Amino acid sequence: MAGERGVVFPEVGGRRSTSATGRAVVADALLPVDPVGSAAAARETNWRSGYLGHFRRLVEAGLPSYGDARSIAEAGLASVHDRMRWSPGGGDDLPLSAAVAGAAGAPHPTHTYEVLAGGAEPDTALTIPYQGRRLAGDDLRRRLDAWVAGGIVEPALREAVTAVLENPEWLRLEGRTVVVLGAAAEMGPLRSLLRWGATVAAVDLPRPDLWSRLLDDTRDLAGRLVLPVAVGDGDLAQRAGLDLLHDLPLATSWVGGLDGPLVLGNYVYADGATNVRVSTAVDALTDEVRRHRTDTALSFLATPTDVFAVPAEAVAAATENYAQRRTSKVLRVPLRTLSGGRLLRRNYVPGVDPGINDSVVLQQGPNYLLAKRIQRWRATTARASGATVSFKVAPPTRTRSVVRNRALAAAYSGAHRFGVEVFEPGTANTLMAALLVHDLMARPAAQDHPWQDEAQAAAHGGLWRCAYAPRSALGLAALLGGASAR
């Protein structure tokens, strides 16, 4: 990590340690409401393998009250912002705030705005691609019913998507500019929003190959595409893009200067420790923009492979599914015995309310969870301050990052045998875009507790309602998926 520039981890013992920083952030987040849990996190000697219990505790410790959950979120974000550093030249070590202070209201002399207006007519009705078809109207309603009946999504998702079906004029998001940070992300809403005729400000890395593909894909869509473009001559794809990680002041200035009202959508992803760095950069940008423009709405997609509190109805459904899986009863006991209780465990203790669903995939590691937790904390604190927030649990999806991981790809191939549906990217990102439209236009009331806001209209793919604790079935799913692939 020597010489890294931009948003970087702090130096601990002479090196930029991701484990020491992650451990400290979790301990700081727990401290206001769970000093014992905080001390346990701080004492963890093997963070890379022992992180999971502490991330689970972040959820459990917030359950007693709304105030507890908010305190954890505020303390966690404060720790991230206090600890992470800004190193514009690679050798300096400045506070993170130095990268963004005042930038949202400052001019940006090196970059300008390029507005591309699509020539197509906007879609006037919601359709969602599914298994080679585009589902609309009653066909889409039947698919929503099937997902609910199969425990693939929470029932509130059906109501939200139905509301969009019945109010197609919502799709254009008239009067708003949706900033898609991570414009090329497979799970992002960029293409759907442009197809519906919305105005989208697209931010992604300044890579000509990326922008050539993105511009080709969106050229004939109906909406307005706003791009950050370096001042000068040359091909548009050569000049488009902003690096959130390394050019954070410029990116904050550019986003802060957009016409509004704004919707800031966080769809960034990177591998390993870089994921924490870029999530921190986006959070710093978000915080600064909202200081200047308090009407800014926020949008996040949560990973289903995390720890969530889930409603009693999901616990009851999983308990019933456990009782009804007759075909596996013969194997369940010997498998659990041979594995020391690790395989095919119940998803929940019957009757708990709320339940704790732990769908973490250990191979994804603590940096992945911390990056996603930063987003969850920001959603909680922003909602508590009165902001409009769309935070949705997205379904397990066959994205490129998943397919690259052989173990996870095999597990997803066998997941259907355990009541889990893995979505194709086109289905997942269009469904999530429709939920974003609903949240911005219908503005549903906040729930009584942040965990309920997180669970609202979740598209968990069945992980919350399946019979077995997901990680206790993951290995078998991978074996079955790998065998079927061969």
How high is the pLDDT of residue 474? 84
Q: Does the structure show a pLDDT above 80 at 462?
A: yes
Q: Does the structure show a pLDDT above 80 at 2?
A: no
End-to-end CA distance of the chain: 40
How high is the pLDDT of residue 107? 74
- In percent, how much of the chain has pLDDT > 70? 95
Buried (b) or exposed (e) across 202-229, using 16+ Cβ within 10 A?
Answer: bbbbbbeebbeebbeebeebbbbbbbbb
Q: Is residue 437 part of a domain?
A: no
Q: Average pLDDT for residues 175-194, to the nearest whole number?
A: 97
Question: 3-class DSSP state for residue 450?
Answer: helix
Q: Is 389 left (phi over 0), alpha (psi -120 to 50) or beta?
A: beta
User: pLDDT tens digit string along 361-373?
Assistant: 888 899 999 999 9
CA–CA distance from 64 to each of 36, 75, 123, 451, 459 (Å)? 16, 17, 45, 11, 25
Instruction: Return the C-alpha torsion angle 224, 226, 232, 237, nearest 10.
Output: -80
* Mean pLDDT of the chain, nearest integer: 92
Q: Average pLDDT for residues 21-29, to the nearest whole number?
A: 98
CA distance 453 to 437: 16
**Other Cβ atoms closer than 10 A to 15:** 11
Looking at the structure of the chain, the number of domains it has is 1
Q: Is residue 194 part of a domain?
A: no
Q: Does the structure show a pLDDT above 90 at 161?
A: yes
Q: Average pLDDT for residues 238-265, to the nearest whole number?
A: 95
How high is the pLDDT of residue 486? 47
User: What does pTM read for this prediction?
Assistant: 0.94
Q: Does the structure show a pLDDT above 70 at 484?
A: no
Q: Does the structure show a pLDDT above 50 at 105?
A: yes
Q: Is residue 33 part of a domain?
A: yes
Running DSSP on this structure, what letter comes out for residue 240? B
How high is the pLDDT of residue 332? 53
Range in 106-115, 195-204, 240-249, 260-269 with the lowest mean pLDDT? 106-115
Q: Is residue 142 part of a domain?
A: no
Q: Which two tokens mark 375? A: 């987003």
How high is the pLDDT of residue 148? 98
Q: Is residue 397 part of a domain?
A: no
Q: Is residue 248 part of a domain?
A: no
Question: Which helix (H) or strand (E) covers residue 127, if one does?
Answer: strand 127-130
Please give the residue range of the domain that contains residue 67. 6-99
Question: Is the bond preceding residue 354 a cis peptide, omega within 30 degrees?
Answer: yes
Question: Which helix (H) or strand (E) covers residue 297, if one does?
Answer: strand 297-302
Q: Is residue 64 part of a domain?
A: yes
Q: Is residue 18 part of a domain?
A: yes
Q: Average pLDDT for residues 311-338, to the nearest whole number?
A: 74
Tell me which of 68 and 114 has the higher pLDDT: 68
Question: Which helix (H) or strand (E) covers residue 228, if one does?
Answer: strand 224-230
Q: Does the structure show a pLDDT above 80 at 339?
A: no
Count the helix, strand and coil residues of the chain and give each as a percent rounded to the nearest 5: 50, 15, 35
